[in-house]
Structure 1
């Protein structure tokens, strides 16, 4: 078993096809096909069953990949130890982060990080929020910057900030003057039921922000009249600015987004709603100093 064997098998399993796996590995599809054929002959057992263009792991292939992921984690641990020994002069840091977070955190954090650790290569893995956590579990990322999920998290994590979730309302909406001062928030509060006839622009249920919206609706016993789903925060806010509907946004995003016809932002009547922004990493991992530095920079920025 070679490292390349593990990486190639993992890529095919993750991508589901040889073509997409080859693209992710930056090699040609015929080269990958030939490699897998020679690898299986060398190993003495089939790793994949090919069904049309789809590749599925055999039972031995599943065991091979499980053992391979453990080997990749051992390699990661060794690199961490070596980084300590070498005083963190050379290394690589893979950061899994949702698109929106990356758009404003990376420009603020990476130049400062590079000044401190010029020889640490940072690889940004910008993904939708639903797969950010997976990148840690399958060994593709060192840390993930994400919202705390509803489910139990089988990772170690640190809370960076508790962010208030706010209602974004079109500036021309007739109810915007019904906000009330809220001593528990920097934003005026408003009754969610004032918008019972409005369209809501929400993230999908498999996204953390979509789950937060559903939890808020349940707590307020509220059912939206109409719903439009999008996976993109900026799309939701831009639609709100046109008057198309109501959306949700956290306070950190508000500080970094550029608005034309800016929406009005409101806290929720009663108690404000919060979501924890966290940095997560593999359970039990001893973080090298350069990762700790990046986490500290993240705290400073938000």
Structure 2
């Protein structure tokens, strides 16, 4: 069994597309299809249901995926440990970043890290924080940046940012000149939200429910700049972190501090504490902690 075939299979299962997997792996689609067909023949099972252009894992495919993740992770650990024994300051990192976090905090960090470790390559995956956290837990990513608090207890982590959410409204909105706004005042507003795979999606809904109403969501997006533009067009209001608000401010929108309640946006870097960390991953954690001024995340008992 070729370890590369398992890697191709896992990437195809993750993206649910032969075409997108080929693009991600810089291979041709026929090469991906041939490798998976060979894997199916070797195992004597069908791994994917092919329905038109869509594919879904079969029951056998799900079993193989679980074992393939363990096999490829073990192989990755073996390669990393051998590289460490040879004291090679190179490697490859898979990093998950929510879109608005990546553009706001990490371009300079990634550039500075590359200057120090030019032989370490990085592959950045942009997904909502919930998906990033899940992928780090499953070993699909080495490092992730997420919105705290954490869902799982398998992570090492540090916090590097803490900001409030502010209200962003069209410049013509009645609240545009207000010194602050209360969440309860927004019960009859239309909202522009981040998609449901973003932690802020659920966080804001829960806060609204505690304030006595369910937000009327008219649009959802994964891009903060598009959310800002939709607010500017008068399609609704939005709640965005302070860093994003500073970038979104202009004549077409107004930023209003949100009070009662204050909704916090806390960011952390996470990694799987029970998996082997390569030299490159350990250096990235140390480097970013120093660069961003990160502090360890304590539990509710202060440990």
Distance in 2, Cα, partners of 1:272 & 1:82? 49
- Provide the alpha-carbon RMSD of the alignment: 2.9
CA contact (8 A) 2:95 2:142 kept: yes
Residue correspondence of structure 1 range 99-114 to structure 2 within 5 A: 99-114=99-114
CA contact (8 A) 2:104 2:243 kept: no
Residue correspondence of structure 1 range 158-169 to structure 2 within 5 A: 158-169=158-169
User: Is the alpha carbon distance of 1:153 and 1:244 closer, same or farther for their aligned partners in structure 2, counting shifts above 3 Å?
Assistant: farther
**Aligned equivalent of 1:293, options 281, 286, 301:** 286
User: Is the alpha carbon distance of 1:21 and 1:159 closer, same or farther for their aligned partners in structure 2, counting shifts above 3 Å?
Assistant: same
More deviation in 5-14 or 126-135? 126-135
Task: Please list every run of 5 or more consecutive structure 1 residues that lacks an aligned counterpart in the other structure.
Answer: 180-188
Q: In the alignment, which residue of structure 1 is the partner of 2:254?
A: 264
Shift of 1:95: 1.0
Shift of 1:60: 4.5
Distance in 2, Cα, partners of 1:50 & 1:224? 38
Distance in 2, Cα, partners of 1:226 & 1:199? 6
Residue correspondence of structure 1 range 1-302 to structure 2 within 5 A: 1-41=1-41, 43-48=42-47, 50-53=49-52, 55-82=55-82, 84-87=84-87, 89-148=89-148, 151-152=151-152, 154-179=154-179, 189-224=180-215, 227-255=218-246, 257=247, 259-261=249-251, 263-285=253-275, 287=277, 288=279, 289-296=282-289, 299-300=292-293
Number of residue-to-residue matches in the alignment: 290
Shift of 1:204: 3.2
More deviation in 204-213 or 32-41? 32-41
Task: Please list every run of 5 or more consecutive structure 2 residues that lacks an aligned counterpart in the other structure.
Answer: 295-303
- Per the normalisation by structure 1, the TM-score is 0.81
User: Is the alpha carbon distance of 1:86 and 1:100 closer, same or farther for their aligned partners in structure 2, counting shifts above 3 Å?
Assistant: farther
Residue aligned with 2:264, SS: strand
